[in-house]
Amino acid sequence: MHDTLFVYPATLARYQAAPLFPERERFLAHCDKQGYTRRGLRKIAWLLLVIASTRLARNGRVRIEEIEQVARRHRVRFLQHSSERGNCHTTQQLFIHTAATWYGFLGRLATYRPARGRFSTHLDAFERFMRDERGLSAITIDTRHQQIGRFLSGLPRRVRSPAAITVLDVDRHLIHLSKHGWSRTSLARVASSLRAFFDYAETQRWCKQGFSDGIDSPRIYGDEGLPRGPDWSQVQTLIASTVGSDPASIRDRAVIMLLALYGLRRGEVVRLRLEDIDWKAELLRVVRPKQRRIQHYPLIAPLGHALIRYLKDVRPRSAAREIFLTIKAPLRPLSAGGVTSVIRNRLRSLGVENVPRGPHSLRHACARHLLDEGFTFKEIGDQLGHRRASSTSLYAKLDLRALREVGELRLGRLL
């Protein structure tokens, strides 16, 4: 790899003469397969040269703390090679990331992650329970992990086990979130996640029986809120904003169409695989994790064209079977959080205000549009993959035309 990156013999000889050249060569080849550009590979090669010249190269196994110490001692060197002369922070962080990744690639990294918290063992066991016994979706598990982890990490240091946690600790956490702008609905979801965790903790005898019953949350009345999303004109503007020829716009166009035209959830979008597109039958196969079933949709022409353009012109060769990948190296499947960032950033750039700007808001916009077009609640529920009719009936409050007709009925002769 080095001989393809550096054409001057003297420069190439300097890289070849430094320690651990075979190891650095293998890692560069690995990065090349991950889709890094030539410029990115040259940067990594230089960082590996710096790493190989430090005392880290002489150690057997390397800890993250040692890498960070070496990075701080090389601040002046990073400053000289930084694109922004007044700030070397980016190069310093890239040094830490590259060193950790390289030593992990070599099997010499002593610690792959920061020190685990007090309740890591309990959280790991609860995750396995949610995945293996409850069969919950990956996004639900991740969301609960974040919510419960935020609560546990905020407990006083004297609390060393679930048995030492009190209901008052839970109340204080919910009050703290409320004071920082969390809505009643969001607080209710956090409380639900905590109840699920302590229900499991009771079965494992980590805490006393009945603990979860004492966790109170804001009362949420059935169908009290409106499913909010952008107007359909704003959705059309959002789709039109992706007509560019840059790779991100080409990929995002297909993602947005799946969210807005099909009403898919973000997790369903990122889980789509290449084999889920039946080009001959013009069908799209969608795995519905909540219903634990597979649903087939007709592949409409606009989405088909967007997918073909992305797959032919943008999507790099990769062993990953997921349709949507990251644009920048290292190449990997697009995450649910990545979809959220795409939608929020694009809606923000369009000046969309006063409505939620996450991917789920496009699902609501899809339902509202189908309702306006005269589709029945059964048809809308089937399109969105709802398990219960009550999930779709919430959109009845958005059917202003039907509500107005009800309001204009003259019932006097019927009484």
> Dmax over Cα atoms in the chain, in whole Å?
100
Q: Has 262 been annotated as catalytic?
A: no
3-class DSSP state for residue 62? strand
Domain boundaries, the chain: 2-106, 120-214, 232-362
Q: Has 271 been annotated as catalytic?
A: no
Cα separation of 223 and 220, whole Å? 9
- Residue 93 confidence (pLDDT): 81
- Which residues in the chain show pLDDT less than 50? 84-86, 111-115, 400, 402-409, 411-415
- Residue 305 confidence (pLDDT): 95
Q: Which of 173, 265, 315, 369 is catalytic?
A: 265
Cα separation of 93 and 64, whole Å? 12
244-253 long-range contacts (CB < 8 A, ≥24 apart) are 247/313, 247/314, 247/327, 248/327, 250/306, 250/309, 250/310, 250/313, 250/314, 251/310, 251/314, 251/315, 251/324, 251/327, 252/342, 252/346, 253/306, 253/310
Cα separation of 313 and 140, whole Å? 33
Residue with tokens 């890094």: 36
- Residue 95 confidence (pLDDT): 83
Cα separation of 295 and 75, whole Å? 55
Q: Which of 26, 81, 290, 332 is catalytic?
A: 290
Cα separation of 379 and 385, whole Å? 10
Q: Which of 315, 363, 368, 369 is catalytic?
A: 363
- Residue 115 confidence (pLDDT): 45
Q: Which residues contact 144 (CB under 8 A, 6 or more apart)?
A: 130, 136, 193, 196, 197
Q: Which of 200, 262, 297, 395 is catalytic?
A: 395
CB-count burial class (<10 Å; 0-12, 13-18, 19+) for 205: exposed
Q: Has 360 been annotated as catalytic?
A: yes
Q: Has 386 been annotated as catalytic?
A: yes
- Residue 113 confidence (pLDDT): 46
Q: Which residues contact 168 (CB under 8 A, 6 or more apart)?
A: none
- Residue 59 confidence (pLDDT): 65
Q: Where are the beta strands (DSSP E) in 56-151?
A: none
Cα separation of 279 and 57, whole Å? 52
Cα separation of 147 and 191, whole Å? 9
Q: Has 43 been annotated as catalytic?
A: no
Q: Has 173 been annotated as catalytic?
A: no
3-class DSSP state for residue 288? strand
Return the CATH fold of 232-362.
Answer: hpI Integrase; Chain A (1.10.443)
Return the CATH fold of 120-214.
Answer: DNA polymerase; domain 1 (1.10.150)
Residue 235: Cβ within 10 Å count: 23
Q: Which of 77, 285, 344, 360 is catalytic?
A: 360
